[in-house]
A and B are shown apart, each in its own frame.
Chain A
């Protein structure tokens, strides 16, 4: 059942540019993909270790600035920039994880918020490096240059759509590989009962740092993609709205599930755009809020666990008993 859903989703996603002819709709799907990477990243911390990072936009922003600065100021290759967009936020994640040594729950939330606040202030005020609020225009597009062939630019929406699709698939596979192993069980053990985890030999700090590094690196990857897609980086990437959106996607989609963040990302990127087309902006936000509350009210565990529950319920209903 879930395998069928996976292949169906993949088939729809892989053929999307063929039947989504409106470039604005394709843009929405690209943003949904970037948010899917971000939501998958947040889910590693929030869904599995149970720690809420309310500063996740910081890792997204550091990723965007890492590649933005390297490619615009130093004119490095966009691919090396993208690599730096993974590595640097990963390092930042390590620092946060170490600082969080014994901070859990509300204290962890505060630590991550403060961190995001600091990074955001740096991006606005360190004019020499970041151009401050003016931002960094002219981030180059990604290009594929095979030996001897002319460089193939991935500047078109269709091409970039596939770049993002591959990025989502990679991020998803990283999550699957981690979660379906001893490492994933250690992360879940932190969420379920950290004291018991320690008593059977699970080093809580080690695994929290590890989750923070992978999560931050993945969020940075999303930031790098965003920079090369919009070709512009500004302090706007640190907006709290990004973090809140990620949290909504993870919680509504189903935290602690592998598919939940992707479902949440697609739904909550497409929904505002659909509402924008359907109604005026006041109604748009109101309906968005009502729908969100509705989802959480009727599916408190999130969409994916609720759908999964439908399978057995339907079988029960139709089985003669």
Chain B
């Protein structure tokens, strides 16, 4: 069991963005979290990765409670996320972006940086080789020297993925990795997610594109108004009457 969320609740005044949601994400799977806009998907991501405190509830990672930990500590445990709104280091090149993402794989601190040039050089060489590998993996090899801010939207999203992968996740959480992408770019992303999973990385994603979700997921969780309304394999979730109602409105159910 990789990730366990128990009774997660987030209230903003009288509104409950999450109202007692419990679920697990099993190791080695691709699990998707779907739901209409405002269902609480991103809030769930924010709580799990420490960017938001839950009003109530706990998050455990491999049995360790991580509720309320600061984001960088959660990342250091191998829970790494991307963001719904494209988020890169805009002024840096693709290579520097990925090198920055490799932070956790380096060891050099201030004292070492100031006093042991040999160690720093060796580490830099190791990290640079690692960065090249990650850049090639996501297919940005021809763009490595370009500034992130100058990349096309699709390439920026790939760079985001590369930065997250550089942080050596055991559980990779992707917040709408394919939003705003062209059909062919979505195919690329779906293939990448498959290859990421083959490397033994558990993938947990929020996504609106149903074809993508149903094609790559082992398991689908459905949120609506802050509550979990379905949890199962893609086929059974698609047939679930409550899910159909949530997406199409109650009238659709009446005619179904």
Contacts and interface: CB of A to CB of B under 8 A. Distances in A.
Interface of A: 174, 177-178, 180-186, 188-189, 191-193, 195-204, 210, 214
A188 B97 CA distance: 10
B104 to A, nearest CB: 4
B167 A200 contact: yes
Interface in B103-127: 103-104, 106-110, 112-114, 117, 120, 123-124, 127
A201 B76 contact: yes
A199 B164 contact: yes
Given A182-B108, A183-B109, A200 B91 contact: no
A192 B80 contact: no
B89 A196 contact: yes
A177 B70 contact: no
Contacts of B167: 199-201
A203 B124 CA distance: 20
A58 B65 CA distance: 43
A183 B71 CA distance: 18
B101 interface: yes
Given A193-B87, A201-B104, A178 B113 contact: yes
Nearest to A189: B100
Per DSSP, chain B at the interface is: helix
A214 B103 contact: no
B44 to A, nearest CB: 15
Contact of B113 (A177, A196, A202): A177
B189 interface: no
Contacts of A181: 108, 112-113, 120, 123-124
Given A183-B109, A192-B91, A193-B90, 12 more contacts: A177-B114, A177-B120, A181-B123, A182-B106, A183-B108, A193-B89, A195-B87, A198-B51, A199-B82, A200-B166, A201-B103, A204-B72
A214 B76 contact: no
B206 interface: no
Given A185-B96, A189-B89, A200 B103 contact: yes
Given A189-B100, A196-B87, A196-B89, A201 B75 contact: yes
B163 A200 contact: yes
A120 B71 CA distance: 38
B90 A198 contact: no
Nearest to B120: A181
Contact of A196 (B88, B117, B123): B88
A119 to B, nearest CB: 25
Given A193-B90, A203-B70, A185 B100 contact: yes
B72 A202 contact: yes
Given A178-B113, A186-B103, A214-B110, A199 B89 contact: no
B251 to A, nearest CB: 40
Interface residues of B, number: 41
Nearest to A211: B110
Contacts of A193: 87-90
B127 A196 contact: no
A214 B109 CA distance: 13
A188 B89 contact: yes
Contact of A188 (B100, B104, B109, B112): B100
B75 A200 contact: yes
Contacts of B51: 195, 198-199
Contacts of A201: 72, 75-76, 80, 103-104, 167
Interface string B42-71: 000000010100000000000000000011
A198 B88 contact: no
Contacts of A183: 108-110, 113
Contacts of A198: 51, 70-72, 75
Contacts of B219: none
Interface string B161-172: 001101100000
Nearest to B149: A192
Q: For B70, B73, B75, which residue has the most chain A Cβ atoms within 10 angstroms?
A: B75
Contacts of B112: 181
* 7 A-B pairs with least C-beta separation: A201-B75, A192-B89, A182-B106, A198-B71, A200-B167, A201-B104, A181-B113
B84 to A, nearest CB: 12
A63 B104 CA distance: 35
B136 to A, nearest CB: 19
A34 B87 CA distance: 40
